[in-house]
């Protein structure tokens, strides 16, 4: 019997043998016999096409995402992939791979651009492209897919808040989000590193936290200043594993509707959650933190990533340049006059 019921299930099941001898036995996922029969006929026809007409069976986006996550479970960005796939599900969840057309890609682009930067949109599109590329070249599920173009990105973005603007924003946030934002402003940690911080990686006695793996793949020790310590101690007892929680549940997302509404009420435009990190770096530079220290504090792999903040504290560079005033070469003395040189000597 190709359509039947089992004693341990309320759903109809199918048992099909293809012309080439391939056997399929599985649940239809429905209690409706007519729908179950329709599902049976569809699977049987697909098997016939696959074997007799050499057609590839239609694979769904859902099948592709499950296989992708199974094969890439050791990636350091797996959690980020899961977050992206959850967002993509309402658009792609019910489609087969061959239904993912350019209009569908454009829909992803347009919807994400309403809530995020072009760089973030690129991250989502790149994941879709990577999965489709593997479905084509490794799994041989599809013969091709639409060319997915990325936005041209600029790495020069340095949007930051003044302390006054930060105060306005904090005043508009609910308490649990206020703690997260304040912690980010005083540590410079990325969103994922803040939200996924676990108690086992916090040492209250030594006043530091430990991030096992940052964006660049390396671990990072985070010294906790007075503000960061006060926020951390406030969270004690709220969750057994994660530092930041809400009503006993781990907080997984920070870029929420409440966050975006708070920005509007505070009158802050063109500001994203990651810009809290830029704000922290900007405040550090204005406070006189040298570039090499900022690089270590922020966990940047290369010095070039920190140089974008070099212009923020020109007075520090000016002081550094003035240190040479004490070296009075004979040519300089003859050209400017000894009194002029001494007048500009910050060490005098």
* Annotated catalytic residue within 61, 273, 283, 300: 300
Contacts for 296-301 with beta carbons within 8 Å, 24 or more apart?
297/188, 297/222, 297/223, 298/188, 299/211, 299/214, 299/215, 299/216, 299/218, 299/220, 300/216, 301/216, 301/218
Phi-psi region of 337 (alpha: psi -120 to 50; beta: other; left: phi over 0): left
Judge whether 274 counts as a catalytic residue: yes
Identify the burial level of 195 via C-beta atoms within 10 angstroms of its C-beta, where 0-12 means exposed, 13-18 middle and 19 or more buried.
buried
173 in the Ramachandran plot: left (φ > 0), alpha (ψ -120 to 50) or beta?
beta
Exactly one of 40, 109, 129, 277 is catalytic; name it: 277
The single residue of 111, 215, 238, 252 carrying the catalytic annotation is 215
Q: Is 157 helix (H, G, I), strand (E, B) or coil?
A: coil
Output helix, strand, coil percentages for the chain, rounded to the nearest 5.
Answer: 55, 10, 40
Q: Which of 112, 129, 272, 274 is catalytic?
A: 274
- Which of 68, 11, 61 lies closest to 36, judged by CA? 11
Token pair 């209250």: residue? 204
Task: Give φ, ψ of 344 to 5 degrees.
Answer: -95, 5
Listed residue (173, 183, 167) closest to 235, CA to CA = 183
- Which of 40, 84, 190, 239 is the catalytic position? 190
Which residues are known catalytic residues?
190, 215, 274, 277, 300, 309
């Amino acid at each position: 019997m190709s359509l039947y019921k089992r004693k341990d299930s309320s759903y109809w099941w199918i048992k099909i043998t293809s012309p080439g001898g391939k056997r399929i036995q599985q649940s239809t996922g429905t209690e409706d016999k007519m729908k179950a029969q329709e599902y049976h006929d569809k699977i049987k026809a697909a098997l016939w096409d696959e074997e007799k007409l050499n057609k590839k069976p239609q694979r769904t986006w859902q099948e592709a995402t499950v296989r992708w996550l199974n094969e890439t479970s050791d990636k350091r960005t797996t959690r980020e992939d899961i977050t992206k796939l959850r967002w993509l599900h309402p658009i792609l969840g019910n489609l087969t791979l061959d239904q993912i057309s350019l209009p569908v890609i454009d829909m992803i682009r347009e919807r994400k651009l309403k809530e995020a930067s072009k760089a973030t949109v690129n991250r989502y599109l790149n994941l879709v492209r990577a999965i489709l590329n593997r479905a084509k070249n490794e799994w041989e599920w599809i013969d091709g897919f639409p060319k997915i173009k990325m936005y041209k990105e600029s790495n020069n973005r340095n949007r930051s808040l003044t302390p006054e603007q930060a105060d306005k924003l904090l005043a508009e946030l609910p308490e649990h989000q206020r703690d997260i934002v304040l912690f980010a402003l005083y540590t410079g940690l990325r969103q994922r590193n803040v939200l996924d911080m676990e108690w086992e990686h916090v040492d209250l006695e030594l006043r530091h936290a430990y991030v096992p793996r940052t964006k660049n793949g390396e671990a990072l020790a985070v010294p906790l200043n007075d503000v960061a310590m006060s926020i951390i101690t406030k969270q004690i007892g709220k969750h057994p594993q994660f530092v930041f929680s809400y009503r006993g549940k781990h907080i997984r997302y920070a870029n929420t509707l409440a966050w975006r509404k708070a920005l509007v009420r505070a009158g802050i435009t063109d500001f994203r959650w990651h810009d809290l990190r830029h704000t922290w770096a900007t405040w550090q530079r204005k406070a006189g933190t040298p570039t090499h220290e900022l690089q270590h504090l922020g966990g940047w792999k290369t010095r070039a990533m920190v140089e974008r903040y070099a212009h923020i504290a020109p007075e520090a560079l000016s002081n550094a340049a003035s240190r040479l005033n004490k070296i009075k070469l004979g040519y300089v003395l003859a050209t400017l006059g000894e009194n002029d040189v001494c007048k500009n000597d910050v060490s005098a």
